[in-house]
Amino acid sequence: MAVSLEDARNLAQQLGRYGKAQGARSSLEIFLTAVPFGALWAVMWAALGVNYWLCLLLAIPTAGFLVRLFMIQHDCGHGAFFRRRATNDWVGRIIGVLTLTPYGFWRRTHAVHHAAVGNLEHRGIGDIDTLTVSEYLGRSRAGRLAYRIYRHPIVMFGIIPPYLFLLHYRFPAGLMRAGRQPWLSTMGTNAAIAAVVAMMAWLVGIRPFLLLDAPVVLLAAMLGMWFFYVQHQFEHTEWAHDKAWNFYAVALHGSSYYELPRILAWFSGNIGVHHVHHLCSRIPFYRLPRVLNDHPELASVGRLTLIQSLRCASLALWDEGQKRLISFRELRLRAAEPTLA
């Protein structure tokens, strides 16, 4: 279903009424996420001396709660979780120590992502690198190979997530010369992480801590990367050059509605309702389902089911002629087709 530009603009204005954070509800969401996360981590510690495979099994729900903590941090970055900015910022900073994500630095790069999503002239910060077909074909053989490796699912969802959260976020990559704020955010978070690791090493031992925390962090990073990927890397997303780019059109049609089973939607903080989030980022995640209930026409815009989303992993190139993402295989088959004289 297509929604006109004028309707998208009017809808964005209407959605403003959902962007009022409820302090009590937000505090409850933090409690319902942080307490089970801590409890499961403690159970994993207790199970370590019994069976490590049991620990790995418990790491799955524990990682789910860590993903949800990240979603709370994400909403704080948008100023959506509490009414006072200082409350959002301090909650975001504290959670950032657990998610290994420097809150101030990430908030800044994510704001760039929201401001320029789908703009072909403003790629590179806060998003997944995406080439057009012509850009890819214009690269050298080595350049094409590098991009194919980057977009391979094993690299995208297996190697990049741990690199991103364990190494990339330890420095203000991309904002190295943007003043002291990105440095204060990353270095402050690094210091806090080091303090927590030292405390946990003293409490449980460094080896048990790494055996328990590493699978949780790695799994949460991979899940988070997948959610971020399918939010914009789906076949009928929208990209445009600067002159044709429009915030409301790309926010609505360039972002997916990832319709997940209820339990997965809860753990992911309803981030699958991503088209609504991009239209109005000040809506706390617990109010996003209400938007769909009140505006049922949005349920068919950019809709992806869990099964349908699996195909997104092979998409890698923006076809400007057909206005859709295509795979390397489709490009290869197209090149092999005989041309008519």
d(CA 49, CA 68): 28
Q: What is the pLDDT of residues 93-129, one digit of tens each?
A: 999 999 999 999 999 999 999 999 999 999 878 789 9
Examine residue 315 and state whether it is found in any structural domain, yes or no. Answer: yes
| 258 DSSP β-pair partners | 304
Helices 206-230 and 52-77 meet at what angle, rounded to 10? 50
Give the pairing of strands 315-319 and 324-327.
antiparallel
Examine residue 286 and state whether it is found in any structural domain, yes or no. Answer: yes
Question: The tokens of 290 are what?
Answer: 């209400």
Domain that holds residue 9: 5-334
Evaluate whether 117 touches 123 at the Cβ level (below 8 Å).
Answer: no
Examine residue 156 and state whether it is found in any structural domain, yes or no. Answer: yes
Least confident of 23-27, 86-90, 124-128, 246-250: 124-128
d(CA 304, CA 257): 6
d(CA 218, CA 213): 9
Distances (CA, A) of 247 to 45, 77, 113, 297, 318: 47, 20, 12, 20, 19
pLDDT at 340 over 50: no
Examine residue 330 and state whether it is found in any structural domain, yes or no. Answer: yes
Examine residue 223 and state whether it is found in any structural domain, yes or no. Answer: yes
Examine residue 249 and state whether it is found in any structural domain, yes or no. Answer: yes
- Which residues 6+ apart lie within 8 Å of 276 measured at CB? 15, 257, 283, 288, 291, 292, 298
Kindly report the CA angle at 172 between 143 and 202, in degrees rounded to 5? 115
- Average of per-residue pLDDT across 318-335: 93
Q: What is the pLDDT of residues 119-129, one digit of tens each?
A: 999 987 878 99
Examine residue 341 and state whether it is found in any structural domain, yes or no. Answer: no
Examine residue 269 and state whether it is found in any structural domain, yes or no. Answer: yes
Query: What is the percent of the chain where pLDDT is above 90?
Result: 85
pLDDT at 52 over 70: yes
Count Cβ atoms below 10 Å from residue 103 Cβ, excluding itself. Answer: 26
pLDDT score recorded for residue 341: 42
Domain count across the chain: 1
Distances (CA, A) of 87 to 58, 90, 104, 205, 341: 32, 5, 14, 33, 67
- Average of per-residue pLDDT across 70-88: 96
Count Cβ atoms below 10 Å from residue 268 Cβ, excluding itself. Answer: 22
